[in-house]
Structure 1
Amino acid sequence: MSAFALALAALPAAAQETTTPPDAGATTAVAGGDSVTIGAGGVYLNDYEGSNHYVWRIAPGAIGTVGGFSFSVAGNRASVDLIPNKPGPTWDIQAGPIAVVNFNRSSLKSIEDPRVRALGKRSTAIEAGGFVGLGKTGVITSDYDRLSVSVSYRKGVSGAHRAGIWTPTINYFTPLSTKAAVGVFASADYAERGYGKAYFDVDAAQSLASGLPVFTTRKGWKDYSVGALGTIALTGDLLHGFKIVGGGTYTRMLNDFARSPLVSIAGSRNQWIGVVGLAYTF
């Protein structure tokens, strides 16, 4: 559900890919106040990681800054920045926990391709870890734009896998006015062997059942993503009231993860996520 979190993060905050920590206090940190945004959106996403079939789903979200501490809850992901943001154009050191509930292939009913269904479902995975990052408010366009870089690590602690995923991220956010804002971002995922085994391998029995060839995935860079997001206030401004949020992410699968039959035969290296929704900022 990353695209929804990214779009929501622009209300009124700087954006951050939700497999990594939120950078949720840019505008409110400059203004020196608290802000909480809640919303829900329609998310256009694939059946499973690597699929070429897409469906619309509804995802909730909340993001904000309270007492200088930023947090994000978006769909299946949550994180908190435990280092308080300082008001005004300044540097911001970020660090805190992150958790993800990974539903990838946990329901066969949601997968259209019969070959992938024949591989069997996976248990829902709980992934937990942390992040560190550095942000700068007041970079190019005004005292309110924001550039940040971060890296996160999360590890499967229950369910389908016990592997770790490293994710470096860079993003930029700027208000266009008191009622509109846009952002761009880029990130990449490095996955350990156990992640590929859980979601991209095909063993001999699965090959016989599905018709897909046997395949073993090595650890390595799994993908990279780029995207954009925006928001327009409908009532009030970016710091208060209702607004429309929207965003999109393009992901390119890499290395063995792209060569897996689930991607190269049954799916696609090119992955898309889109979102449009409604949010309210207190």
Structure 2
Amino acid sequence: MKSALVAIASLAAAAPAAAQTAVEDPLLKETVTVAAGAAYVPSYVGSDDYLVVPAIGVRGSVSGFHFQFRGTQASVDLIRNSDPHAIDLQFGPVAAVNLNRTRAIRDPQVRALGELDTAIELGGYVGIAKTGIITSPYDTLSANITYTHDVAGAHDSYKITPAISYGTPLSRKAYVLVSGYADFVGRDYGDYYFTVTPAGSVASGLPAFSARRSGMLGWGATALVNLSLTGDLTHGLSMVGGGGYYRVGNRYARSPIVAIVGDRDQFYGGLGLAYTF
């Protein structure tokens, strides 16, 4: 799953400029937004137990270069965007920490399978975006695809995530963002997180199951709302909230950790405060 923490920590990603001023196009302003809050997420991908966890995010634009840190993932766009109203081509590195089943596992049978190692996933992304297409000069439609590979020897495999999003200001003080995405993973990824070995079956009481195949891990959708509390969306304090849904793919949903003691339908939500400098 594209980590629920990443999706909810988009707290920092939903506050672009809302309207043009007479002095300066706000999309040309250099800004940094810092957000912090709490998220309600499944304890692991496919779990029916939920946790409340901290969520943080940082997003900025300096000299036409965009960067963001969302939850456990960071990325930088290395293609300078000098004209925010032109087609924006995107390319840059991505680094992520995958904490799935590394801690806070509530189900006793899944916990009996043992905690997994943390995966450090490195890669990159390419994308395209256009601002000013439907509702105003400041709405944005974007699409991108991200590839990462574990370099820490945990699952030692890859994940590919295509995504599409649309965001639009409702006023100078309100902004909404909706997105959809899917995750495709390598066979070692599925094996690491969803297989129940014969030894694991004895320890947990769950039936043995092999998930050593590549395919679509799942798909999801998110919606976020940003409301300015002081100033407007280009500067000051704001409140950000949102939620999402994720459905584990058929192949991995048949794993006992999902089908027997979990749920393929995943829900998550979050609420926090953000400040734009």
Distance 1:160 1:39 in 2: 30
2:80 corresponds in structure 1 to 84
| Inter-CA distance 279–41: structure 2 relative to 1 (3 Å threshold) | same
Q: Distance in 2 between matches of 1:191 and 1:3?
A: 18
Aligned positions of 1:34-73 closer than 5 A = 34-73=30-69
Residue 53 of structure 2 aligns with an amino acid whose one-letter code is R
User: Which amino acid counterpart does residue 245 of structure 1 have in structure 2?
Assistant: V
TM-score normalized with structure 2 length? 0.93
Q: Distance in 2 between matches of 1:256 and 1:154?
A: 21
Match of 1:114 in 2: 108
Superposition CA RMSD, Å: 1.5
How far 1:30 sits from its partner (Å)?
Answer: 5.9
SS in 2 for 1:158: coil
Which ranges in structure 1 are unaligned for 5 or more consecutive residues?
15-27
Q: CA deviation at 1:84?
A: 1.3
Within 5 Å, which residues of 2 pair with 1:253-268? 253-268=248-263
User: Structure 2 CA distance, aligned partners of 1:242 and 1:105?
Assistant: 35
For the Cα contact (< 8 Å) 2:17–2:138, is it kept in 1?
Answer: no
1:8 and 2:12 equivalent? yes
User: Hey, what does 2:239 align to over in structure 1?
Assistant: 244
TM-score for the superposition, normalised by structure 1:
0.91
| Aligned pairs (5 A) from 1:1-282 | 1-12=5-16, 31-107=27-103, 110-217=104-211, 218-282=213-277
| C-alpha distance in 1 between matches for 2:273 and 2:153 | 33
Quote the offset at 1:88 in angstroms. 4.0
Counterpart AA for 2:8 = F
Partner Cα separation in structure 2 for residue 225 and residue 4 of structure 1: 13
Between the aligned partners of 1:29 and 1:226, the Cα distance in structure 2 is 31
Number of equivalent positions:
267
- The alpha carbon displacement at 1:44 in A equals 0.5
Check whether the contact 1:170–1:185 (CA below 8 A) recurs between aligned residues: yes
Q: Deviations over 1:183-231 (max 9, x none)?
A: 1100000010111111100010000110111111121011000111110
| Cα distance in 2 for residues equivalent to 1:205 and 1:4 | 36
Calculate percent identity across the aligned residue pairs: 50
Q: Separation in 2 of the partners of 1:88 and 1:116? A: 48
Q: Which runs of structure 1 show a deviation greater than 3 angstroms over 4 or more consecutive aligned residues? A: none
Q: CA deviation at 1:3?
A: 2.6
| Counterpart residue number, 2:21 | none
Whole-angstrom CA distance in 1 between matches of 2:26 and 2:130: 11
